[in-house]
Structure 1
Amino acid sequence: MSAVVGARPTSPQASSGRPSGPFTGTGKLLRFMFRRDRIRLPAWVIGIGIFVPYFFTAFETLFPSEAELAELSAFTSGPMVGLLGGPGYGLGEGLSYVTFFTALYVIYFMLAAALMNILLVSRHTRVEEQTGRAELIRANVVGRYAALTATLIMAAIGNAAVTLAVLGGLLAFDAPASGSLLVAVGVGAFGMVFAGVAFVCAQVSEYSRVGSAIAGAVLGGTYVLRATGDMSSEHGNVLSWLTPYAWSQQTRAFVDERWWPLGISAVVSIALIVLAYRLSDRRDLGAGLRASRRGRASAAPWVTNPIALALRLHRGGIRGWVLGLVVAGLVYGSTTGPFVDSFADMTGTMGEMFTTGPDPVLGYLNTLMVMMVIAVAVYALLAVMRVRAEELDGRAEPVLATAVSKQAWLAGHILVTAVASIVLLVLACAAMGLTAASSTGDWSLVGELTVAGLVGAPAVLVIVGLACALYGFSPRLLPIATAVVTFSGLAAFFGELLELPEALLAISPWHYTPAVPGEAITAAPLLVQTLVALVLAAVGLLAFRRRDLVTT
């Protein structure tokens, strides 16, 4: 008995006979993560890299001669460039495809790299803890920092792959090697900064959705800060330099090349990663630095049916999207006056891109309205993915164990998503009309753009119906809806100019939407779109009733 009492418990590390430490098991976890993301990560890298040749092909199609490219001189100056792209180095005399691409479009590659890193870090850190898988792994011979370190290595490899993809795309179109390397490394460095941001945000809340939302807010907030700084000064001001955007854009690739701004990105990335390690020591596994607010002992009186429950679950996201899209509408609408003035005397390709009928103002506003339709379609996809998370995380099962049917549960989420999409689009377009009217002095634009939001709503409802149908059959099919929205967005702006076949253009839900403001409104396509949306939603509800729940 005394021998038993005096015995010291052995740890898994001691019993295994292998040395252990805070980084033990990093290599095995890294291999496991690559195994899980063997499709997801390459898809991100290829998806980002493939747009380099796509844009250059589009430029050569849109502007086949130097004379037509020089026609952009009116556009490539002033505050509009600061708003849309950045400081705009190389957009003056000697404008080329390479400088045009770098000054106006590289920022969108940076945004894509940042999103890739935010989702990657959240998936392999906070989601693992939230689902309980991290606890099972840590019960084995795995060190405290193993998961964090494996995710960091994976993010670094992913950003290196994005850097090589962008570099290869630029070199394929005979861009100077030194400038191409500077641009590509700038995109990768920007991604690493937001990998660090995501690591820190993952320590704050015990829910992956909140951590990712905080990182996304940092991405969006710094974009607004950058735009404000770049619009107010030719080379940006102190506001620009406070953001990671400037550290990559101020390298002035292909113009006055300098590497030292990327040193700021490196220092900030390292500081954020070190901070994340330190913060991880100050919390328990599965917990966050910020304690979750205790919920009510009972549901609110108004949460009495599936629709009310869905509204309760989606209301936070709806509020955020309302704020973001209304602000975007106000900002983009305010550009109408100066932007159209810049294109007033423009002919050729650029004139065709932003002109609907005889009025360039209405053509430009229709282009902005299409952008809002695409943005709201993205919201709809994310809302349906939230429904998927409810099922996969096991939260739908207790609800469906009550008198609530599977069809009623899904129908509540789809109805809330559909109504919210219509409201978001109308509010965004109305906000855009308000500042467009103020910018041009034509106050009838407020009503025209509000109506345009209603006209664009059936196309968004088709996306909602498609997502519902795919989800009804299997949650794994939802990426198909994402691919449709991505292709439709590209087709909306470049489809006709690139002479894509009509069969491909027909994939876009908003291909048949009247180009308002600017064109007469016809009811037939809107009714057909609404009917298609209803049929797709009905198919999804029926399929969901017939399949089993998928839970983790």
Structure 2
Amino acid sequence: MTLLRLMIRRHRALIGCWSVLLIGLSATASAYQSTYPTLQQRLVAVALAQHNAATTMLYGNLPDPGAPAQMFGWEIGAIATILTAIMAVVVAVALTRTAEDDGTLEVVRSCGVGPRAPLLSGFAVLALVTAVLTVGCTIGAGLDTGRVDGITWSGAAAFGSSVGLTFLLFALLTAVVAQVMPTAGGARLLGFAAVGAAFGIRSIADTQHIAWANWLSPLGLRATVRPFTDNRWWVLATYLIVAAATAWLAATLQGRREYRAGLLGRPSRRPSRLNISSSLGLAVRLARSTLVVWTVAVAGIGTLFAVMGSGVVEQSQTSDVGGFLGAQLGAGDPVAGYFGYCGTVVGIVVSSFAVLSMLRSRHDEADGRTDQVLASGARRWAPLAAQVAVTAAGTATVLIATGALSAVVAPSVIDGTDVAARSFSYIAGQWPAAMAMAGWTAMLVGRWPRLSPLAWVPLVASATFALLGQLLGVPRSIRDLGIFQHIPDVAAPSPDVQGILVLLAAATVTTLLGVLGVTRRDIVTGR
């Protein structure tokens, strides 16, 4: 098996799930035609979108005349490129530094593989993923040619190329970061920081009408290409040159650092005694810094969404809101609908944290750390149970902090009834969903550790049902199988808590199966 095939095989689930989600997003253009069937409805929606600072900050500037194709590229294009940037960071770190940190690359190089071959093979995989995203998103959008006003195959190609090239730019930028940072975790964190900085630059460029500033941000690529409006192909060619220069820089830096090290050295720490008396104490000690980062980041994201809801709620109170946000708001109270959407977004992010936290047990077992804990006299089930407890407390901390901050800020910018209570409950109420994902992951890690990558499948499926189910015409009975949209409205006369109880029951059963399962199998070291 060649190194390229090995990389694809090892990361096929990660790449496949993200690609399906992004390609699915590109197939939602028809919803914009049906939502605004008349010119008058579209003109009202376009005017509100163009003069609302919050939507401009999130999606960018909506070009005139605001045809359904342009609204699709404006709204779905913004969401797709942000998700693409996140995917690029995760995939690029997995292809470059993770293999070094876990020892896999050392095994590969012992077979006679040259020192530059792993990075070049990683570049080849990134180029292949770029091609898949470009072609997939082009076909997804182009299939609505003739059925949606403004959709053409050339515009769809520009849209798909923007998504694919956004992935390539962020992936190669992360590859450069991976040569600088001393660990894969540090590279991933700095890569996400770069995504945040790119979003900030793009937001300032659009809200302050500084068009040239979009050239400084990969997330501004969509605004400079202008799919379904101008289709500026020369912009794509320019960014391809930038991508080639970034790849050259990453390859150059790789040749100037030591194996399993970065150009920046690890921070020096004074030796100190680690007073740990239980598996739970060890899990808490190891997770505390990660929990702080996640809490701050998610609280910021949740509050940002709450602040941005004023224009959407106001528009929905006076006229119909179509497209992606219209599908999220539903036909009920717009305040409840918007905070339900915010809660869904936060729930997806926190559930990802829950899955990553539980997969740490699998990594500890494969790397031999679980053996060391068990050698101290701990019970076989204790490490996994401790990780479940830490995950439960960590997700609760993140959600409560995010909900509380949102409840403080939201009433000052959104008019409506029970704004603070709804803001808090729709976010904090995602804890059962996060625990359902933690329990599912614990069951896989405890009973079938080799199947642990499947932990992401319910999360991706539930996120797709929640965000795209209505736009894609998925039946309600199927969408209800997802875990994120079962939070009751606390302001309703009789809130329905049946969904929450089902999620908690599922979390309890799967967690017990995982904890019991780990006592009935051998501890597996190595990958």
TM-score, with length taken from structure 1? 0.84
By how many angstroms is 1:102 displaced?
A: 0.9
Residue 109 (structure 1) aligned to one of 58, 74, 80: 80
Residue 45 (structure 2) aligned to one of 45, 63, 72: 72
By how many angstroms is 1:465 displaced?
A: 1.7
Deviations 1:155-186 (A, max 9, x none): 11221121111122222221323222222222
Partners of 1:290 and 1:395 in 2: how far apart?
26
Partners of 2:417 and 2:215 in 1: how far apart?
37
Partners of 1:307 and 1:439 in 2: how far apart?
42
Does 2:475 correspond to 1:504? no
Does 2:417 correspond to 1:446? no
Partners of 1:501 and 1:181 in 2: how far apart?
30
Partners of 2:13 and 2:464 in 1: how far apart?
23
Does 2:513 correspond to 1:539? yes
Identical-residue share of aligned pairs (%): 26
By how many angstroms is 1:432 displaced?
A: 1.7
Partners of 2:372 and 2:268 in 1: how far apart?
19
Does 2:244 correspond to 1:283? no
Q: Contact 1:68/1:348 (CA < 8 Å) preserved in 2?
A: no
Secondary structure of the corresponding residue to residue 165 of structure 1: helix
Aligned residue number for residue 205 of structure 2:
229
Q: Which residue identity is paired with 1:382? A: L
By how many angstroms is 1:421 displaced?
A: 0.9
Partners of 2:131 and 2:473 in 1: how far apart?
35
Aligned residue number for residue 133 of structure 1:
104
Aligned residue number for residue 329 of structure 1:
302
Aligned residue number for residue 122 of structure 1:
93
Q: Contact 1:189/1:248 (CA < 8 Å) preserved in 2?
A: no
Determine which structure has more spread, i.e. the larger CA radius of gyration.
1
Q: Contact 2:50/2:61 (CA < 8 Å) preserved in 1?
A: no
Aligned residue number for residue 259 of structure 1:
233
Aligned residue number for residue 148 of structure 2:
none
Partners of 1:145 and 1:200 in 2: how far apart?
14
Partners of 1:377 and 1:215 in 2: how far apart?
20
By how many angstroms is 1:433 displaced?
A: 2.0
Residue 316 and residue 484 in structure 1: after superposition, are their counterparts in 2 closer, same or farther (change >3 A)? same
Secondary structure of the corresponding residue to residue 105 of structure 1: helix
Residue 459 and residue 133 in structure 1: after superposition, are their counterparts in 2 closer, same or farther (change >3 A)? closer
Q: Which residue identity is paired with 2:431? A: A
Partners of 2:99 and 2:122 in 1: how far apart?
11
Q: Which residue identity is paired with 1:307? A: L
Aligned residue number for residue 313 of structure 1:
286
TM-score, with length taken from structure 2? 0.88
Secondary structure of the corresponding residue to residue 508 of structure 1: coil
Residue 182 (structure 1) aligned to one of 154, 158, 166: 158
Q: Which residue identity is paired with 1:95? A: A
Does 2:384 correspond to 1:413? no
Deviations 1:173-213 (A, max 9, x none): 21323222222222221111112112112212343222222
Deviations 1:75-127 (A, max 9, x none): 422323323322223xx43522x222211112333234334433333233222
Q: Which residue identity is paired with 1:114? A: A
Deviations 1:6-56 (A, max 9, x none): xxxxxxxxxxxxxxxxxxxxx943344345455654554444323322x13
Residue 452 and residue 120 in structure 1: after superposition, are their counterparts in 2 closer, same or farther (change >3 A)? closer
Aligned residue number for residue 522 of structure 2:
548
Q: Contact 1:49/1:169 (CA < 8 Å) preserved in 2?
A: yes
1:95-494 equivalence runs, <5 A: 95-96=67-68, 98-174=69-145, 175-233=151-209, 236-237=210-211, 239-294=213-268, 297-301=271-275, 303-347=276-320, 353-354=328-329, 357=332, 359-440=333-414, 445-493=419-467
Q: Which residue identity is paired with 1:168? A: I
Q: Which residue identity is paired with 1:545? A: T
1:25-104 equivalence runs, <5 A: 28-37=2-11, 41-53=15-27, 55-59=28-32, 62=35, 69=42, 72-78=45-51, 79-89=53-63, 92-96=64-68, 98-104=69-75
Residue 544 and residue 118 in structure 1: after superposition, are their counterparts in 2 closer, same or farther (change >3 A)? same
Q: Which residue identity is paired with 1:304? A: S
Secondary structure of the corresponding residue to residue 179 of structure 2: coil
Deviations 1:495-519 (A, max 9, x none): 4676644542342234433134556
Secondary structure of the corresponding residue to residue 101 of structure 2: helix
Q: Contact 2:307/2:410 (CA < 8 Å) preserved in 1?
A: yes
Partners of 1:372 and 1:167 in 2: how far apart?
29
Q: Contact 1:391/1:551 (CA < 8 Å) preserved in 2?
A: yes
Secondary structure of the corresponding residue to residue 231 of structure 2: coil
Partners of 1:259 and 1:77 in 2: how far apart?
25
Q: Which residue identity is paired with 1:310? A: A
Partners of 2:305 and 2:226 in 1: how far apart?
26
C-alpha RMSD over aligned residues: 3.0
Q: Contact 1:102/1:253 (CA < 8 Å) preserved in 2?
A: yes
Partners of 1:57 and 1:478 in 2: how far apart?
36
Q: Contact 1:377/1:463 (CA < 8 Å) preserved in 2?
A: yes
Count of residue pairs the alignment pairs up: 518
Q: Contact 1:81/1:88 (CA < 8 Å) preserved in 2?
A: no
Q: Contact 1:126/1:206 (CA < 8 Å) preserved in 2?
A: no
Q: Contact 1:427/1:450 (CA < 8 Å) preserved in 2?
A: no
Deviations 1:353-376 (A, max 9, x none): 53675x433332232223222222
Residue 65 and residue 385 in structure 1: after superposition, are their counterparts in 2 closer, same or farther (change >3 A)? farther
Q: Which residue identity is paired with 1:99? A: Q
By how many angstroms is 1:409 displaced?
A: 0.7
Q: Contact 1:473/1:543 (CA < 8 Å) preserved in 2?
A: yes
By how many angstroms is 1:348 displaced?
A: 7.9
Q: Contact 2:440/2:510 (CA < 8 Å) preserved in 1?
A: yes
Q: Contact 1:449/1:517 (CA < 8 Å) preserved in 2?
A: no
Instruction: Compare 506-515 and 496-505 and name the one that shifted more.
Output: 496-505
By how many angstroms is 1:525 displaced?
A: 4.6
By how many angstroms is 1:244 displaced?
A: 0.7
Q: Contact 2:178/2:187 (CA < 8 Å) preserved in 1?
A: yes
By how many angstroms is 1:418 displaced?
A: 0.9
Partners of 1:484 and 1:423 in 2: how far apart?
23
Residue 71 and residue 374 in structure 1: after superposition, are their counterparts in 2 closer, same or farther (change >3 A)? farther
Residue 519 and residue 273 in structure 1: after superposition, are their counterparts in 2 closer, same or farther (change >3 A)? farther
Residue 217 and residue 393 in structure 1: after superposition, are their counterparts in 2 closer, same or farther (change >3 A)? farther
Secondary structure of the corresponding residue to residue 344 of structure 1: helix
